[in-house]
């Protein structure tokens, strides 16, 4: 778990699209804090600070110390709304956490040794990652920044699944919780595999010319030339 992220916020009483628009013009992000035993609280956060923290992917999985006025609460970033094409945050939702209560959260999956695995370096294949994040459940203090899966020993045609991720202590994959052994295959989805390159696939799919085709074409062309010669001869005789 990385160092705790700190954010300073100010409470706000106004609401609605007009109020949110005014906040954005002032360089602030409208946001809300909810969950736990306290009522939801509307807040605003400096936009530049929010953008800076969003450069680190761990902000989505780490505990945030959110100071609102004189009150400091531990929260996680539950939802974020961005501008469709500008580097601008439109709204943020923060969820209060209890240090003794497990929470569910989505975490990124990092693939180790992707370019150095056997299937790439020796077999000439390429790595493809089909799952980039997954949901976990853990106490706030056990939340990992991300999960890792090692592809070093993968050969061409091999794959690694959710169950191949080495889980940190105290962390569980929700997709595999309470699953019977005979049902594991239905839930243990593939995360990363080594497949053939596009060039190899194209070469294998390219149709081969049937045997004798070239000879038949040549013979047909010869017959056509002979017929043309005879036709010319007949025309010459008539003249």
Q: Which residues pair with 64 in a beta bridge?
A: 5, 75
Phi, psi of 53 (to 5 degrees): -70, -30
> Is residue 72 within 8 Å of 66, Cβ to Cβ?
yes
pLDDT (tens digit per residue) in 18-75:
989 999 999 999 999 999 888 999 999 999 999 999 998 889 888 999 999 889 999 9
> Residue 180 has what pLDDT?
81
* Structural domains of the chain sorted by starting position, each given as residue range(s) with its CATH number in brackets: 5-96 (2.40.240.10), 103-202 (2.170.120.20)
- Model confidence band, residue 199 (pLDDT cutoffs 50, 70, 90): low
Residue 239 has a pLDDT of 43
Which two structure tokens, joined as six digits, stand for 159? Answer: 């794959």
What is the reported pLDDT for 184? 82
Per-residue model confidence as pLDDT tens digits over 85-130: 999 999 999 999 999 999 999 999 999 999 899 999 999 999 999 9
Quote the tokens at residue 111. 């693939």
Quick one: average pLDDT of 209-216? 55
pLDDT tens for residues 169-186?
999 999 999 888 778 888
As separate numbers, helices (DSSP H) first and strands (DSSP E) second, the chain gives 6, 13
Bridge pairing between strands 28-34 and 89-96 = parallel
Kindly state the helix (H) or strand (E) to which residue 111 belongs, with its residue range. Answer: strand 103-112
Phi, psi of 18 (to 5 degrees): -65, -45
């Amino acid at each position: 778990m990385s160092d705790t992220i700190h954010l300073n916020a100010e409470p706000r009483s106004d609401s609605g699209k007009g109020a949110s628009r005014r906040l954005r013009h002032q360089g602030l992000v409208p946001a809300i804090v909810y969950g736990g035993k306290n009522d939801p609280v509307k807040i605003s956060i400096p936009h530049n600070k929010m953008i800076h923290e969003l450069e680190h992917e761990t902000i989505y999985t780490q505990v945030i110390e959110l100071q609102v006025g004189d009150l400091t609460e531990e929260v996680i970033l539950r939802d974020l709304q961005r501008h469709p094409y500008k580097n601008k945050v439109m709204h943020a939702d923060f969820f209060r956490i209890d240090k003794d209560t497990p929470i569910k959260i989505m975490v990124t999956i990092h693939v180790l040794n992707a370019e150095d695995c056997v299937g790439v370096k020796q077999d000439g294949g390429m790595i493809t990652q089909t799952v980039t994040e997954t949901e976990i459940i853990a106490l706030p203090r056990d939340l990992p920044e991300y999960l890792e899966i090692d592809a070093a020993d993968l050969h061409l045609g091999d794959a690694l699944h959710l169950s191949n991720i080495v889980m940190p202590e105290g962390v569980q994959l929700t997709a595999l919780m309470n699953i019977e052994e005979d049902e594991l295959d239905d839930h243990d989805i593939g995360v990363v595999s080594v497949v053939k390159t596009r060039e190899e696939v194209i070469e294998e799919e390219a149709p081969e010319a049937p045997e004798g085709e070239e000879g038949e074409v040549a013979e047909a062309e010869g017959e056509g030339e002979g017929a043309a010669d005879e036709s010319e001869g007949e025309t010459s005789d008539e003249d």
